Structure 1
C-alpha cells in the first residue's frame, strides 16, 4: 500500500460505549499513520456523541440501524452513501459480518479487519485474530489490528474530550442540587445495560458511599455530593440507592445524554462502578475509580492505563460472560461492603478541586485579575436580556449578545453576581410565580453555557401602588442580600438600564452604572442629569460596563473601592 495515495478513510467503530472508549487509542493512531487523509468515523448514534470533537476525526457518519439503515434495504442504502464518498480504505474495528459486507458493497478497494464472523472473503486484508491464550487487553486488541498498516509501539491510555460549555452545563445541574464547584463529588454507576449479572447489590453501594462520605468529612471536613448515573430504565435503581445515602445526592440515571454523562463523570473525584461503559469513561478522564467485576473478564476489559482498584470474588464459574446468572450470582454476592470500602479508601484523601481548576469546572479559564470581595448587582430586563415588556414565559427570554462572556470575566475574577429585578407583572396578574421561576431557571442555564453562576436572584413581586420597601429604587432587595449573603457595600456596583438602578446605587452607597441596552437609556440619562444624579459611569453595553468595573476596582485600594 502506498500510504500517500490513501486520501479518504472510513473507520467503522465499535457499537458499545466501553468498547468505543477502549478503541480510542487505535483511532488516534489511524491519524498518525495517515496524517493527511480525511478520516470519516462510521458509528451508531451513541458512539458518534462519545467521540464528537475527537481530533483524529474529520467527519462522522451515523449508522442508524434502528431507523433508515434497518434491514437489508437500509444496509444497501448505507453502502450507497459510502460509495458516493469514494473511500480508498476501510478499517473495521467492529467485528460483525455486516461491517465487512457493507464496506464490500460500497466498493471500497482496501478493507482491513479481523478475520472473524465468517467474513474473511469480504476483506481485502483479513488480519488473524490473536490467540485466546494471549489474554490481550481489548485496548491492545484494537491497537494490534493496525500493525499490518505500520502501527507500532505500546498502546497508550484512552482519552476523551468535553467542551467548556458541556462542563459548565453539568456544573449548573449540580449547583441546582446544592453541589458547588468546590465540593467533592462521588459518582456511582450501579447499573448495566448488558444485563443484571454485571450489577453489584444496590444496598451495598449505598453503604459504601455512606462510609466514604463519613471518611472524607472526618479527614477534611469538606462538603461531599453524590451523583448517580445510569441508562434509561435504571431510574428506580438510582433512586433506591439515593434514598439510602446520607448526603446531598442527585440521580442522573436516564437523565443525561452521552456528552452530559462524560462531563459529569469527569467532574467526579471518585467513581464507584460495575464493569460498564461509564467505567471506561471515568478511566479515560483519569478519575480515581473502584470497579466491581463479576461475570466479565477483568484481564481483558479492566480500566486501562490508570491506577484503578478492582474488586472481584474468584469463583470457578467466572468469567462466564452471561447477561443473567443461571444459579446464585455468587461472583457478585460474594463481594462485600468491606472489600469495596477498603478499595475506595486507597484513593483517600480525595483531592478538592484547587482554585485554579474551579473556573475550568465552571467552563472558563482562570482570571489574571482578582475581584475577590466585589459584588455586582444586576438589573434583569434591558440589562441581561432584551426588554420586550412583561416577560411572561421562558420561551420569550433572549439574553443580550455578549452578556454571558462579560459576566464570565467577573465570575472568573472572583466577583459575586446578584440579580435584583422589579417584577410588578406578578402583582398585576400577568404571570405566575411558577412562570417567573421557570424564566429564572432558563436564565441560569443560558448563563451556565458561558460558565456563569448567579449567587442570588431577588425580585420585587409588588404592584407599584403597594408602596413596598423592595421595589427599586427602594433598597429592600439589597438589604436581603446584605443579610443573607453578607455583602460589603463599600465594594459593590449596581448595573442597570433605568434611572431607578442608578438611584438604588446612590441609596446603598454603591457605584452606579447605566447601560444603554434598554429601550429608554437616553431618556434615563437625561432625567438623571437633570436631577443631578449622574451615574458613575455610562456604558454602551454590559461588556463595556465590565471593562469599567475591572479598571475601577483594580486601581482603587481594596479598603475603599467606593470612591
Structure 2
C-alpha cells in the first residue's frame, strides 16, 4: 500500500481546490493511504473529503521557522513510513518536515530555493496550467505529464445526522428556501461587495419569501452586523458557527451569493448553485469549481488588480456592481425560487 503525505495549503479555498488532486491519487493508487499535514482550522474540510485517511495539525504559522519543533514533528511522521510527500505550498519552510522525515520522494513545484529539499522538483509553465486547481492536480502525475482532464470539481461530503444536529442547535428551520450570503473575504476589502449592496439584495430576497442566512468567521462580524442592521430579518450566523457547522448549514441552501473567498469554494464543493462576486481578483485563476456557478463582475479596465485595498481609492469594481445585477444571476440559477421580472406574475 502506497502511503502519501500531503503538505496542504493554509487557506480554506486552496485546501478545497486540492481535493481533485486527492481524487486523482486514489484513481492512480486505489489502495493508497493519503494523509494531510495542515493547519488545524482546515481539519473540518479534510474530514469531509472521502480520500483522506488522517489529518495532522501543522502548528507553524506564516514566517515561523522553529527548526527544533519541525524536526520533532518530522521524527514522529517518519515512523509512519511514507513513500511520497506532495508539497502544495511553494515555500521553503513547507519542504523542511518531509525532508527531515526522510520521505524518499518529495514532490512539488519550484519555489523558494528548495533544491535538494524537494527531489521530485517540477517547473511550472503558467500558460499551460492557468488555474490553481490544475497546478495542484498535475502533481499527481509523472513529471512532465499534463493533469488528467477533465479535472473533477471538488466535493465535500456532509453527514445528514450532523447537519440536522447543527440546525437544531442554532434553532434554525427549513420552512422557507434559504439564500446563503457570504460577505467576508479574508484577503482584504477589495474583494468584499459593500454591505449596502448585500443588504439591498437581502431585502429583495426576503420580500420574495426567502430566508437569508449570513455566514462568516469572527473577522466578518463587522460587515455582517452592518448588513443585518440594514436588512432586518436576516439570520446573522457570522462568528456564531464553527467552520464545520457553517459547512453543515450551507449545505441546506437553495442558492449562495459569495465574494471570492474560502466560503465561496465551500458552497461550490457542496454543489449549491452559486453567484460568485469578483472585484480585485480574477475568476481565471481561482474560479468557483461548479457547473452551477455564475460569475458576477464588471470586468473594468482597472481590474483585476489583485490588491487587498483599491489602489485608486474608489473600488468601482464592487461599488458600481449593484444588487439587481446579482439578483439577475440568482434568477438564472434558481428561477423556481427567484422568478425574473419578465416571468413574474402580474
TM-score by length of 1: 0.56
Which whole-Å deviations, capped at 9, do the CAs of 1:386-442 have from their partners, x for residues lacking one?
Answer: xxxxxxxxxxxxxxxxxxxxxxxxxxxxxxxxxxxxxxxxxxxxxxxxxxxxxxxxx
Deviation at 1:70, TM superposition (A): 6.6
Compare 237-246 and 203-212 and name the one that shifted more: 237-246
Partner Cα separation in structure 1 for residue 290 and residue 222 of structure 2: 33
Secondary structure at the residue paired with 1:51?
A: helix
1:14 is aligned, of 4, 9, 25, to: 9
Which segment is superposed worse, 298-307 or 311-320?
A: 311-320
* Counterpart Cα distance in 1 of 2:333 and 2:290: 16
CA contact (8 A) 2:65 2:93 kept: no
Q: Select the residue among 219, 227, 233 that pairs with 1:233.
A: 219
Q: Decide which of 130, 140, 146 is 1:136's aligned counterpart.
A: 130
Paired residue for 2:285? 300
CA distance in 1, matches of 2:93, 2:105: 16
The residue number in structure 1 matching 2:149 is 153
Deviation at 1:313, TM superposition (A): 1.8
Cα gap change, 1:278 to 1:53, in 2 (>3 Å): closer
Give the drift of 1:164: 2.0
In the other structure, the counterpart of 2:87 is: 92
Out of 281, 286, 302, which is 2:266 matched to?
281
> Residue 520 of structure 1 corresponds to which residue in structure 2?
none
Structure 2 residue aligned with 1:433: none
Partner of 2:342: none
- SS of residue in 2 equivalent to 1:256: coil
Shift of 1:83: 1.8
Query: Which residue is 2:190 aligned to?
Result: 197
Structure 1 residue corresponding to 2:253, chosen from 234, 256, 268: 268
Seen in structure 2, the aligned counterparts of structure 1 residues 172 and 351 have a Cα distance that, compared at 3 Å, is: farther
**Are the counterparts in 2 of residues 189 and 228 from structure 1 also a CA contact under 8 Å?**
yes
Partner of 1:118: 113
Looking at structure 1, the residues matched to 293 and 53 of structure 2 have their Cα atoms a distance apart, in angstroms, of 32
**Equivalent position SS for 1:154:** coil
Where in structure 2 are the equivalents of 1:22-421 lying within 5 Å? 22-66=17-61, 71-131=66-126, 133-134=127-128, 136-148=130-142, 152-173=148-169, 176=171, 179-214=172-207, 216-217=208-209, 224-246=210-232, 248-328=233-313, 329-350=315-336
- Shift in Å, 1:343: 1.5
Contact 2:193 2:259 in 1 (8 A): yes
- The alpha carbon displacement at 1:251 in A equals 1.1
- 1:213 Cα shift? 3.0
Task: For residue 267 of structure 2, give the secondary structure of its aligned residue in structure 1.
Answer: helix
SS at 1:338's partner residue? Answer: helix
Unaligned runs of 5+ in 1: 1-5, 218-223, 353-563
Taking a change above 3 Å as real, the CA distance of residues 159 and 351 of structure 1, as seen in their structure-2 partners, is farther
Aligned length: 334
Larger radius of gyration: 1
- RMSD value over aligned CA atoms? 2.2
Aligned-pair CA distance for 1:165: 2.8
Residue 93 of structure 1: how far off its partner (Å): 1.9
SS at match of 1:211: helix
Unmatched 5+ residue regions in structure 2?
A: 339-346
Q: Secondary structure at the match of 1:58?
A: strand
